Structure 1
Amino acid sequence: MDITRLSPDDEAGCADAVAVKNAGLKVDCPEMTPQTPSGYANMLRYGWDMVPSYGYLARDADGTAVGLLDVGANTYDNLNQIWIDVDVHPDHRGRGIGSALVEYAEGLARDMGRDTVGYGCLDLPKGDAFARRHGFVQKAVEVNRRQDLTGLDWGVVQRLYDDAVAASTSYELTKFTGPVPEELLEDMVTLTSSINDAPKDDLDIEDDVFSPGRMRAYEEAQSKSDHTVYRVIAREKSTGALAGHTVIAVERERPHIGEQHDTAVDRDHRGHRLGALVKSAMLLWLREAEPALTQVDTWNAESNNHMISINEQLNYKVIARILAYQKKL
């Protein structure tokens, strides 16, 4: 078996990588959104915020793509860690390919001077057994939920919005697409840092470190990946302080698909239903701005009860549970 790093310019290789990944999803969790070759290539080029991910394709002796290793190595924070995904084509499982990819990933971590490997897999007995066999310890559970806009009761959304407006009369909303205006950038960085209050469960991770440069890098990566980024911000009327926000990115390749990127409320402004306010306002906006949009996916720690309660009011349903593991090398 040959393991080689993929280039985002290798169209055939990216297509093979996505074929491996999607074949596994079809068997293990067909409800999850499949990837596209162009979307995968963009992750290798730009990542989430201009920190590209690494893709390594495993090929059999005859050149058949049989496995895929994806590696994320943050350069903003948590510099002691990498996070990996391992996919093996269902037709080639049980041959040690996944184990070889984990071993390869651990070698990469050591070469980078990193001593911790994080690993995520679907909540399936075989996935858990594989992780534990390789010395990983479960630390958290992430849940993928999906909002079906075609079945959404817009009356419920409107009532949620109206009730939130009544509870937050000291605040007003600002909406825009694309880059954060320069005059809001520093305050937006501070507000975005509020995401660090979300549950981390038992994960051995530092807080995310945000900066104006990282914010601009995120905007650049999303734009270059052909995503339209929508942002709704709640501001305190008396001070202009940014109190809460939500962000959704809509794919241009598949404009029926959106992804929830962030929702956070500054701790000094909690208790005014700002989370419900910005999320319901976002939906009402997208209903007009993105008529082709039919689904929005979000990810939350299973223990994040407050955000989950809002999502459930907005017709989000569980698609998958992901078990998160870590291993010290």
Structure 2
Amino acid sequence: MTVIVRDFRPADAEGFARIRRLALPFMLSTAESVTYDVANMHPDAHFQPLVAEKDGELIGTAQVGFAHDSPQPGQGYLNVYVHPDRQGHGAGSLLVKTAEERLAGLNATKLFSWVLDTPANRTFAEKRGYRAGRSAHFLRLDLADGTLPPLQEPPAGVELRKAADFADDPRPLFDLDAEASGDEPSDIDYEFTNYEAWLKETWQHPLFSHELTSIALVDGRPAAFSAARTDGGTRYGTVITGTVRAHRGRGLAKLAKNDSLHRARAAGYTEAFTGNDTGNGPMLAINKWFGYEICATEVRYIRELG
């Protein structure tokens, strides 16, 4: 039978997550998180995951939507992943074609796609009119058998807390995340101004760990943090580590991340993952200090629509 591409259905969640884990083992993905994303993504994101199917088996996935928090309209994205043992059946090509048609029909003017940095993947993207943009590394740290830097005593006026301590009012963490995220290098400009969307997409996300996310407070106000996610098993990841502009250069992000890593290891997590833009020298140096090693690289490819 031929490959077909169709809309995601709730029953596809486990298969969707499994393909993501096989194709991109450095990213945390569970059936629960996939289902949650579909149900809770901001309406302006027009999030439309797709699956490729052959003989009743899911063999490919695509995350399709818009960067709704960008000040520039029409910034669409499609991230396509095919089961490593099911490549060569045309699933990737059909997923890209279907995703592009969907996004063009919603008035997308520019398309972004993360592509693993291998000759085959890059050629696939370039043949379809995409040009290379920024790149980012995936990094892995062995928490089970590796060594972490010793815990540091916070300097005077600095206190370490958990995200769980802000359960009654997480708004200060939103403000911290918005400022730190806005300064991260990216091909897309973002403006995090929607607190309600942040609550759904970050604070209430099933992968987000309120217990392992660490915040450094300066004089009682959040100044730096390391936001953690877990898969409910043995894998832990930090999705952003950052500091507000007024307190950068004091080692507060490193302090918060070290605290989170130690608590993750104590909780039984054996692998830690993170990602950094290849031009983000300061954060790459911090992660090297912790013992992270680069395990793969992605390139963001861009296609302009007429």
TM-score (norm 1): 0.80
Q: CA deviation at 1:172?
A: 2.3
Matched, 1:196 2:188: no
Q: In structure 2, do the counterparts of structure 1 residues 97 and 315 end up closer, same or farther at CA, with 3 Å as the change threshold?
A: same
Contact 1:142 1:302 in 2 (8 A): yes
Q: CA deviation at 1:259?
A: 1.5
Instruction: Encode CA deviations 1:54-100: one digit per residue, 9 max, x unaligned.
Output: 3212234x444343222133333354122212223455534543222
Unaligned runs of 5+ in 2: none
Name the counterpart of 2:276: 300
Q: In structure 2, do the counterparts of structure 1 residues 86 and 147 end up closer, same or farther at CA, with 3 Å as the change threshold?
A: same
Q: CA deviation at 1:219?
A: 4.6
2:190 is matched by which residue type in structure 1?
A: D
Instruction: Encode CA deviations 1:227-248: one digit per residue, 9 max, x unaligned.
Output: 53333222222xx332211111
5 Å-filtered alignment, 1:1-329, equals 1-8=3-10, 10=11, 13-18=12-17, 20-21=19-20, 25=23, 32=26, 35-46=29-40, 53-60=47-54, 62-77=55-70, 79-90=73-84, 92-154=86-148, 156-158=149-151, 161-162=152-153, 165=154, 168-177=155-164, 180-182=167-169, 185=171, 187-192=172-177, 193-200=179-186, 203=187, 205-219=188-202, 221-222=204-205, 225=206, 227-229=208-210, 230-237=212-219, 240-252=220-232, 254=233, 256-288=234-266, 290=267, 292-329=268-305
The 2-side partners of 1:109 and 1:319 are apart by 31
2:64 is matched by which residue type in structure 1?
A: V
Contact 1:233 1:242 in 2 (8 A): yes
Q: In structure 2, do the counterparts of structure 1 residues 273 and 15 end up closer, same or farther at CA, with 3 Å as the change threshold?
A: closer
2:251 is matched by which residue type in structure 1?
A: R
Q: In structure 2, do the counterparts of structure 1 residues 210 and 157 end up closer, same or farther at CA, with 3 Å as the change threshold?
A: farther
State, as a whole percentage, how many aligned pairs show the same letter: 21
Q: CA deviation at 1:174?
A: 2.5
2:193 is matched by which residue type in structure 1?
A: F
Q: Provide the alpha-carbon RMSD of the alignment.
A: 2.8
Q: CA deviation at 1:132?
A: 0.6
Instruction: Encode CA deviations 1:5-31: one digit per residue, 9 max, x unaligned.
Output: 0122x2xx33443454455x3xxx7x6
Q: In structure 2, do the counterparts of structure 1 residues 303 and 4 end up closer, same or farther at CA, with 3 Å as the change threshold?
A: same
1:111 is matched by which residue type in structure 2?
A: G
Q: In structure 2, do the counterparts of structure 1 residues 52 and 234 end up closer, same or farther at CA, with 3 Å as the change threshold?
A: farther
The 1-side partners of 2:41 and 2:58 are apart by 23
Q: In structure 2, do the counterparts of structure 1 residues 33 and 119 end up closer, same or farther at CA, with 3 Å as the change threshold?
A: closer
